[in-house]
Amino acid sequence: MLLYHFDSKEQLVTALLDHLAMQFTLALDSHFPAERSPSRRACAEAVYEITGQSDFAPFLRVWWDIVAGCAGGNAAYLGAAGRIMDQLLVWVVDHLPEDDPDPRGGARAVLTVIEGAQMLRVIGRDEIAKAGLCALEG
**Tell me: the pLDDT tens digits for 53-100?**
998 898 899 899 999 999 999 988 898 899 889 989 999 999 999 999
Q: Strand, helix or coil at 128? A: helix
pLDDT tens string 33-57: 888 999 999 999 999 999 999 988 9
Give the span between the Cα atoms of 101 and 34, in whole angstroms: 21
Torsion of CA 81, 84, 86, 87, to 10 degrees: 180
Where residue 124 falls among pLDDT bands split at 50, 70, 90? Answer: very high
Q: Which of 73, 138, 65 is nearest to 106 (CA)?
A: 138
Q: Is position 22 within any domain?
A: no
**CB 65, CB 7: distance < 8 Å:** no
Decide if 8 is inside a domain: no
The answer as to whether 114 is a domain residue is yes
- Based on the structure, what is the number of domains in the chain? 1
Q: Is residue 19 part of a domain?
A: no
* CA angle 31–87–51, rounded 5-degree value: 30
Task: Classify residue 2: in a domain, yes or no.
Answer: no
Count Cβ atoms below 10 Å from residue 80 Cβ, excluding itself. Answer: 22
Residue 59 sits in which domain range? 37-135
The pTM (predicted TM-score) of the whole model is 0.85
Residue 95 within a domain: yes
Q: Classify residue 32: in a domain, yes or no.
A: no
The SS3 of residue 9 is helix
Q: Is residue 94 part of a domain?
A: yes
Asked if 12 and 3 touch (Cβ cutoff 8 Å), the reply is yes
